[in-house]
């Protein structure tokens, strides 16, 4: 494969001009927010495979970076929550995509009273070499871009993401993952990679790369079917299911005993005491479900207690708490 990034530029220059209905789309509904009108041309160029916009991540955010702008749909949604000049910085390598995003954000300003184009700073910039200072943003979002990168470039993009985040900042992503390793003849196909079909890693490998870049806590918020690479068309022994995931990773230190990865497992204590304390910071009040990371779930399971139930992963972790 030459430099696959040349093909990526070609694919997205075309996708900027002519909407590609099937590119990246998933069965996730486009958000409807009170008072938000999204220009149709922006919806037609939704090249995300999920959502990276979550009010929970934005309540205290002052400055957000969005990498791989596309036509600006998620940038507009982010601005809806931030509503301040320069609150969203949005970078893309593709001048045509940036031009379309700028035009559509102008259109968005005409149909949304609350929105001013100055709320978004659009600039040419590469995920592999972000044009931002260290520790300068609270949240980084990327949707359906990092899966395109080769493993080496993915490592670089994740390092860059970690670098620009403030401590405890959040990296929110939506990307395809593969249910088994991608065969070389597909991983090496630059066009399939650019179309978000053959760069996907298995979920565990992707999460490990995020941890390796220095993120101590990860939450898997969604996991849904994305595509099937069928054996006839893609020259495979068996069909290969791709899924899309939504993950948030926190820029906090990695604990000595390993990262905390929440996949939706829950611990419930039903014993005779008011609570069960594992001595490692987890106090389970009797009868009340508590979300636990996979590491803790495994440690609690290994106790072999009949008064503790540990459920499987829902892949829809949305934080924890009761009342
Ligand atoms: C699949 S589209 C996703 C667009 C947008 N995130 C969305 O959800 O609609 C990928 C976008 O990333 C841009 N892109 C490609 N390589 C990039 C890079 N190295 N750095 C920043 N943006 C890049 C493309 O031009 C394109 O706009």
The stretches of 69-178 forming alpha helices (DSSP H) are 73-82, 95-111, 151-164
Mean pLDDT of the 230-248 span: 98
In CATH, 4-250 is 3.40.190.10: no
pTM reported for the whole predicted model:
0.96
147 CB less than 6 Å from ligand 1? no
39 CB less than 6 Å from ligand 1? no
pLDDT tens by residue, 47-67: 999 999 999 999 999 999 999
Domain borders along the chain are 4-250, 263-310
Give the per-residue pLDDT at 29: 72
73 CB less than 6 Å from ligand 1? yes
How sure is the predictor about 31, in pLDDT bands with cuts at 50, 70 and 90?
confident
126 CB less than 6 Å from ligand 1? yes
- Going by CA atoms, what residue is nearest to atom 14 of ligand 1? 68
Q: Is the pLDDT reported for residue 26 higher than 90?
A: no
pLDDT tens by residue, 291-311: 999 999 999 999 999 999 999
196 CB less than 6 Å from ligand 1? yes
How sure is the predictor about 323, in pLDDT bands with cuts at 50, 70 and 90?
low
CA of 130 to the centre of ligand 1 (A): 13
Of 41, 78, 92, 200, best ligand 1 pocket probe by most atoms within 8 Å of the beta carbon: 92
Give the per-residue pLDDT at 319: 84
12 CB less than 6 Å from ligand 1? yes
Which residues, other chains included, contact 89 with Cβ-Cβ below 8 Å and sequence gap of 6+? 63, 64, 65, 66, 120, 121, 123, 132, 137
Count of CB atoms situated within 10 Å of the CB of 8: 21
């Amino acid at each position: 494969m030459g430099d696959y990034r040349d093909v990526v530029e070609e694919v997205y220059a075309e996708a900027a001009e002519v909407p590609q209905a099937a590119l990246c789309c998933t069965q996730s509904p486009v958000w409807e927010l009170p008072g938000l009108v999204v220009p149709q041309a922006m919806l037609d160029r939704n090249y995300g495979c999920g959502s990276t916009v979550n009010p929970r991540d934005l309540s205290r955010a002052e400055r957000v970076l969005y990498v791989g702008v596309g036509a600006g749909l998620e940038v507009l949604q982010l601005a809806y929550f931030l509503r301040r000049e320069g609150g969203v910085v949005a970078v893309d390598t593709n001048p045509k995509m940036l031009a379309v995003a700028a035009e559509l954000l102008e259109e968005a300003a005409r149909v949304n009273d609350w929105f001013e184009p100055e709320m978004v700073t659009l600039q040419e910039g590469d995920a592999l070499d972000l044009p931002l200072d260290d520790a300068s943003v609270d949240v980084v979002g990327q949707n359906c871009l990092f899966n395109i990168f080769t493993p080496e470039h993915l490592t670089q993009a994740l390092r860059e993401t970690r670098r620009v985040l403030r401590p405890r900042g959040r990296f929110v992503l939506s990307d395809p993952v593969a249910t088994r390793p991608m065969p070389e003849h597909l991983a090496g196909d630059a066009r399939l990679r650019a179309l978000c079909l053959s760069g996907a890693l298995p979920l565990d490998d992707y999460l490990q790369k995020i941890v390796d870049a220095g993120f101590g806590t990860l939450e898997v918020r969604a996991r849904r079917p994305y595509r099937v690479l069928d054996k006839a068309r893609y020259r495979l022994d068996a069909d290969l299911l791709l899924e899309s995931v939504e993950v948030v990773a926190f820029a906090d230190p990695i604990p000595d005993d390993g990262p905390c990865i929440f996949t939706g497992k829950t611990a419930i204590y039903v014993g005779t005491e008011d609570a069960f304390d594992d001595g490692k910071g987890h106090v389970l009040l009797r009868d009340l479900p508590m979300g636990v990371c996979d590491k803790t779930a495994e440690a609690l399971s290994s106790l072999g207690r009949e008064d503790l139930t540990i459920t499987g992963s829902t892949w829809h972790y949305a934080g924890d708490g009761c009342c």
